[in-house]
Amino acid sequence: MSGNEAVARGAWEAGCNVAAAYPGTPSTEILEYASQLPDMYSEWSINEKVSLEVAIGASLAGSRSLCAMKHVGLNVASDALMSQTLAGVGAGLVIAVADDVGLSSSQNEQDSRFWGRFAHVPVLEPADAQEAFDYTKRAFEISEQFNTPVILRLTTRICHVKGVVTFGNRTSFSKAEGFVKDPGRYIMTPGIAKKRLPMMFEREAEMQRYSEVCDLNVIEEGSDSRIGFITSGPTYMHVKEAYPNAAVIKLGLSYPVPFAKIRELATQVDQLVIAEEVEPILETELKAAGIELLGKEILPRIGELSPNVLRPAISKLLGEEAPEVAPTKTPIEIKPPVARIDPATGIDVFPRPPTMCVACPHLGIYYCLSKIRNTTISGDIGCYTLGAGHPWNALDTTICMGASMGIAHGLDKGRVEADKDKKIIAVIGDSTFMHMGMQGLLDITYNKGNVTILLLDNRAVGMTGGQDNPASGRDIHGQDAMKIDFRKLCEALGVKPERIHEVNPYELPSLFTALRDEVKIPEPSVIITNQPCVLIDFYGAQPAFTVDDDKCTGCGNCLDIGCPAILVTRRETVIKPNGSEKELAFVKIESGACTGCDLCPKTCGPDAILPLADYIRQ
């Protein structure tokens, strides 16, 4: 099992009755797997805050509950978390949070262990898939033992790497009394919350004592007394691989911190090193407690602490020779990929940076956006974030889920004289719009903003694998569900009906006309695109296209679409009548990949792109 699958299985075996999440890599598969298990309600919630609220409600009703999210999702859910830590739980409540250490698919690398301190709740950190399973079951017990939500902190390494997991059978669990009315606990007015604060701190002190004796925190003695390590989560595995003979304390319950147990390890070794991903959270606390150790002075503060990162740093500490590790390079700008010529075929072969799929409905959108001048374009989180790259270069900002709306509004209201004539465009996907974009649109209409919104409805949460949402009209099990009407929704949020347009993103003339006209209107307008993601079953592929070599003039206009199915076969440089040089790019279409979306023919002046069947008949 992967760690994500193991978490779902562990929750199921623990008698969890309700599981809720919003998809987000690396946590997505927790709910996908949970939805396949019987006798447990599962849902894709509209965002992470709602998923946590659903889990809280189920817990108060007497059912063990789980919600899952990636690290940035807990930012969204934190409002509910920070109140519920005062109120406590009914049945066990577990929050599985997946940190993206190394930024595989995220806009930041925040450390969710901070939330344990901030919310005064315990944090469990499994080191492999088996522990992901075991710790999930244990988390429900700890939640009920201390009347608190519990954070199960995962990382990409734990979520996606597979291992052998031994599991058992489901144990039914529910609190017979159901929801018990208790206004002095669940109604978080200032007066009630003040009374709950001392109880929260008493609980935290009790959990701290528990951490000293908890079997999840273990000292493993080593034969090499020169060095000892403090670890948690996957760093334990990295340390054991790099230094199998070193003494190690493995913190399965990493918060509250077992200070006495760590002091015990410190007496057994010459040097104590804390290896934690990614922030020096434990390091700061332990140093403040007077424990001598080394941490981020010798280890990096970004990325995974894999053995090839640990060994050079520790070797220096021990006076041993070790190869240097190249420093992490941070890209400063998005550059077009550089081609190389395949000697076997003579075709330009490009490296594979992230790009949109063949026939993606977003391709035509960014093609049109790249042709509209004097604009500032605010982007959002999703597949369409790739519009910032080559060949479109059609996004100017991307911050966080739903931020395109508020940032576009701020760009409008904060514009200076130099930008007075610029047009402001916000680009947002269907799922992101429902997640956190609706509030931004309401703010734009309420405050008389001047923003043109491109609402890209592809009927799926495309970036995380095509999960269903209210735009698809199906639930997590693929069953029929309510389907949102974006036109009516935008009208309800204050956009005038005549300023709402629905267009087919494969119809470039209609799309370009709608964009060109709406950016001129000095009030909010919405352009809704209406074609599905090419990777879901709503999409219907059409016959493929090909290029007639005899007609192709090498203009390269079709390359501006950015479709991965279009390849350059050769380049030529010609001298124009005015003496300047012009590079021609002759192309071919990989007909096996082409889905017949009909985008590229609309860019071809000499009509060199035609259906493959017609070309064969010729």
Q: CATH number of the domain that 403 lies in? A: 3.40.50.970
Cβ neighbours of 110 (radius 10 Å) = 17
pLDDT at 374 over 50: yes
On whether both 563 and 451 belong to a single domain, the answer is no
Residue 572 has pLDDT above 80, yes or no: yes
Beta-sheet strands, E only, within 16-85? 18-21, 41-44, 65-70
In a domain, 438, yes or no: yes
Q: Among residues 455, 518, 514, 506, which one has the least CA distance to residue 485?
A: 455
Q: Is residue 310 located within the same domain as residue 392?
A: no
Mean pLDDT along residues 469-489: 92
Would 333 be classed as within a structural domain?
no
Q: Could you report the per-residue pLDDT of 274-323, keeping only the tens digit for each?
A: 999 999 999 999 999 999 999 999 999 999 999 999 999 999 998 887 76
Q: Is the pLDDT of residue 324 over 70?
A: no
Known binding-site residue numbers for [4Fe-4S] cluster: 552, 555, 558, 563, 594, 597, 600, 604
414 burial (CB, 10 Å; 0-12 / 13-18 / 19+) is exposed
Res 332: pLDDT: 45
**Residue 462 — very low, low, confident or very high, per pLDDT cuts 50/70/90?**
confident
413 and 291 both lie in a single domain: no
Q: What is the CA radius of gyration of the chain?
A: 28
Q: Is the pLDDT of residue 354 over 80?
A: no
| Same domain for 431 and 411 | yes
Peptide bond into 611 cis (omega under 30): no
For residue 536, what pLDDT is reported? 87
Residue 248: which of 336, 314, 328, 308 has the closest Cα?
314
Residue 330 has pLDDT above 60, yes or no: no
Q: Has residue 105 got a pLDDT over 90?
A: no
**How confident is the model at residue 260, as a pLDDT?**
96
Region 379-383 average pLDDT: 91
Residue 330 lies in a domain: no
Which band of pLDDT confidence, cut at 50, 70 and 90, is reported for residue 327?
low
167-202 per-position pLDDT tens digit: 999 998 888 788 888 998 988 889 999 999 999 999
Same-domain pairing of 609 and 555: yes
| Shared-domain flag, residues 206 and 224 | no
**Average pLDDT of every residue of the chain:** 92
- For the chain, the helix, strand and coil percentages under 3-state DSSP, each to the nearest 5: 35, 20, 45
What is the average per-residue pLDDT within 116-132?
A: 97
pLDDT category of residue 241 using cuts at 50, 70 and 90: very high
pLDDT of residue 338: 55
Q: Which is more confidently placed, 586 or 336?
A: 586
Closest CA to 423 of 450, 448, 402, 399: 450
> Are 233 and 209 members of one domain?
no
What is the CATH classification number for the domain harbouring 287?
A: 3.40.50.920
Q: Is the pLDDT of residue 329 over 90?
A: no
pLDDT of residue 339: 53
183 in a structural domain: yes
Q: Are residues 99 and 45 in the same domain?
A: yes
Last residue of a domain, one of 213, 238, 273: 213
Indicate whether 7 and 147 sit together in one domain. Answer: yes
pLDDT at 616: 84
Would you say 423 and 371 are in contact if contact means Cβ atoms under 8 Å apart? no
The one-character DSSP state at 212 is H
Enumerate the β-bridge partners of residue 454.
Answer: 427, 527
Evaluate whether 569 touches 586 at the Cβ level (below 8 Å). Answer: yes
What are the start-end ranges of the H helices in 289-353?
307-318
> Look-up: residue for tokens 């309510």?
482
Verify that 376 and 461 share a domain, yes or no.
yes
Q: Does pLDDT of 349 surpass 80? A: no
Q: Residue 261 contacts by C-beta under 8 Å, 6 or more apart in sequence?
A: 211, 212, 217, 219, 249
Do 226 and 207 touch, CB atoms closer than 8 A? no
- The pLDDT of residue 321 is 79
Does 203 lie in the same domain as 265? no
Domain housing 613:
545-617
pLDDT single digits (tens) 416-450: 899 999 999 999 999 999 999 999 999 999 999 99
Q: From 541, 525, 536, 537, select the one nearest 596 (Cα to Cα).
A: 541
Residue 146 parent element (H or E)? helix 129-146
Per-residue pLDDT, 194 = 92
The annotation places the binding site at: 552, 555, 558, 563, 594, 597, 600, 604
| Residue 484: inside a domain | yes
pLDDT digits (tens, 9 = 90+) for 494-525: 999 999 999 999 999 999 999 999 999 999 99
Q: Is residue 516 part of a domain?
A: yes
In sequence order, the 6+-apart residues with CB closer than 8 A to the CB of 371 are 512
Is the confidence at residue 333, as pLDDT, over 90? no
Q: Check pLDDT > 80 for residue 345.
A: no
485 and 517 share a domain? yes
Per-residue confidence (pLDDT) for residue 212, from 0 to 100 = 97
For the segment 128-150, the average pLDDT, to the nearest whole number, is 97
Is the pLDDT confidence value at 46 over 50? yes
